[in-house]
Amino acid sequence: MKRLTSIIMLTYNQWSLTKLCLDSLFKHTDQSMIEVIVIDNGSTDETKRELEKEERITFIANDHNKGFAGACNQGADLAKGDELLFLNNDTIVTPQWLTRMQQTLDSDQHIDLVGPVSNYVSGEQLIQDPYHSLDDIDEYAKKRRDVYDKQKKYVMRLVGFCLLVRKAVFDQIGGFDERFAIGSFEDDDFCLRAVQSGSRLAIALDAHVHHHGHATFTGSPEINFNQTYAENYARYVNKWGTDLSYFMHGRPELVQVVPQDAKRILDIGCGAGATGLQLLNRQQCKLVGIEGNEKMAQIARSYYESVYTINIDETIPPLETESFDVLLFADVLEHLKDPWKTIQEYSKFLKKDGAIIASIPNIAHAEALIPLLMGRFDYRDAGILDRTHLRFFTPQTLYTLFPTDQFSIRQQFSTHIPVDAKISTFFHEVSLLGKKFDLELSGLSDLIKTYQSVVLFKKL
């Protein structure tokens, strides 16, 4: 049976861009393998008149703007294909764009959503300065296909400007949530629900689609983009019950320290699995996670071998002793009642010569030190004075977590956040003053800029 992909495109004015998109689509896509469904959301320019002439599409004209989510769902209801391809009308596709995305979809039975790279997109699909003219698009796409042939990258999020989805998965999770009016965050929400249901998401690194960006908003002055974005973000946070950016942030500074020959990694405080994804994209390994938030644990399970939802202070997971090459503690230890005890208990799961890698904030950074000198220690929602922090360390005192008879330090470096010039000058003067009183404060100027320490200890 021949493969059929239903391409669903929305229009709202901007006919010149829609024409460019359709011209490229029919030029670079085998028409026997696609159906094209165009939903117009109430255009007032020549868009409807021109689309009614086009015999190669199924055209539906709405009398009002149903928004991105509503019109996409409308198109999906009409689709006959086993795959849906949601395509913005302000895009230009390139040779082999769809077949390359389909190759990525077929490369892993767990992949259900695929997106291309682009010149104008948020997140990991963005490629910087790929070309300088629309005339160069096809040549650039060819070079990219040659360099990245059949390569993919697992991600937590894909942008809906060009999104390939298995129809069965779309139906299973209920399509796009229409509470996200007009547009913004309906694709973020859709991707999260897909991953939560067990799907994997991937970028086809050898597929490039040009994107003009925000054409609907640009061509619709009556729509306030910033207001729409803010309102939909509030809906997104309210729906998921938390600011998801806290759980979706990968930690490349930790990943770069993980030995590339590590085969089995325990990620303690794994969140939604963003750091584990970075590891999977770099090396062959098995991941096990520990996470307190069950919603985030469900998302991580799409990529991890298993994820235990437990209170780290109270429960030890039923893991085999000496079965891991690496233990990751990404901003976890400072949240625990007894991090010293946790290190001892979890180190039993680590092989001899295995590595513990941890990131720990510095309580002596100016962000905390200046208010303290002023008699303040006000907790915040995030940062060094995060209200959920129970223990505090400096780059020197974190060593107390790792007894020298059990661990040896192999690597330590710091991440820095610059401080105001006046504050730097103040602490420089304080360090000079310390000499008069035989106080060793020479390292103070650097210490107040050190935001976090990343350390690697080997188990003896």
- DSSP codes joined into one string, 78-132: H--SSEEEEEETTEEE-TTHHHHHHHHHHT-TTEEEEEEEBSS-SGGGB-SS--S
pLDDT for position 3: 92
Both 219 and 183 in one domain: the answer is yes
**Residue where one domain finishes, among candidates 224, 241, 258:** 241
Final residue of a structural domain among 185, 219, 241: 241
My answer on whether 154 and 232 are in the same domain is yes
Are residues 397 and 440 both part of a single domain? Answer: yes
Residue ending a domain, choose from 241, 273, 301: 241
What's the domain count of the chain? Answer: 2
Per-residue pLDDT of the chain (460 residues), as tens digits, is 689 999 999 999 999 999 999 999 999 999 999 999 999 999 999 999 999 999 999 999 999 899 999 999 999 999 999 999 999 999 999 999 999 999 999 999 999 999 999 999 999 999 987 888 999 999 999 999 999 999 999 999 999 999 999 999 999 999 999 998 888 899 999 999 999 999 999 999 999 999 997 655 454 555 677 888 888 888 988 998 887 777 778 899 999 999 999 999 999 999 999 999 999 999 999 999 999 999 999 999 999 999 999 999 999 999 999 999 999 999 999 999 999 999 999 999 999 999 999 999 999 999 999 999 999 999 998 889 999 999 999 999 999 999 999 999 999 999 888 889 999 898 888 888 888 888 888 888 889 999 999 999 999 9
- 236, 250: one domain: no
Looking at residue 218, its pLDDT comes to 52
Looking at residue 328, which CATH number applies to its domain? Answer: 3.40.50.150
Instruction: Give the residue from 154, 153, 176 showing the smallest Cα distance to 86.
Output: 176
Looking at the fold, whether 287 and 223 belong to one and the same domain comes out as: no
Residues 271 and 190 in one domain: no
Q: Is 265 found in the same domain as 160?
A: no
Q: What is the Cα gyration radius of the chain?
A: 26
Q: What DSSP letter does each residue of 295-358 carry, written as one string?
A: HHHHHHTTTSSEEEE--TTT------TT-EEEEEEES-GGGSS-HHHHHHHHHTTEEEEEEEEE
Kindly state whether residues 200 and 262 are assigned to the same domain: no
> What is d(CA 301, CA 288) in angstroms, rounded to the nearest whole number?
9
Centroid of chain to Cα 303: 13
Query: What does the DSSP 8-state code read for residue 181?
Result: -
Q: How does strand 111-117 pair with strand 200-211?
A: parallel
pLDDT at residue number 432? 87
Residue 58: CATH number of its domain = 3.90.550.10
Alpha-carbon distance 163 to 176, whole Å? Answer: 12
Distance between CA atoms of residues 362 and 397, nearest Å: 10
Contact (Cβ atoms closer than 8 angstroms) between residue 270 and residue 307: yes
Supply 172's token pair. Answer: 């299973």
124, 155 in Cβ contact below 8 A? yes
Assess whether 110 and 136 both reside in one domain.
Answer: yes
Q: What's the pLDDT score for residue 222? A: 59
Q: Are residues 126 and 20 in the same domain?
A: yes
At residue 253's C-alpha, the angle toward residues 362 and 200, to 5°, is 125
**Strands 407-416, 450-459: parallel, antiparallel or unpaired by DSSP?**
antiparallel
Cβ atoms 322, 349 nearer than 8 A? yes
Cα separation of 178 and 67, whole Å? 8
Burial class for 95, CB neighbours closer than 10 Å (0-12, 13-18, 19+): middle
Same domain, 348 and 373: yes
**Which residue carries 């694709």 as its tokens?**
187
Instruction: Residue 219: give the domain boundaries.
Output: 5-241
Kindly report the pTM of this predicted structure.
0.88
User: What angle, rounded to 10 degrees, do the helices at 366-373 and 421-436 form?
Assistant: 70
Angle, CA of 85, 89 and 95, to the nearest 5°? 65
**Is the four-CA dihedral 371, 376, 379, 385 of positive or negative sign?**
positive
Q: Do 86 and 140 fall within a single domain? A: yes
* CB-count exposure of residue 384 (10 Å: 0-12, 13-18, 19+): buried
Q: Are 63 and 34 in contact (CB under 8 A)?
A: no
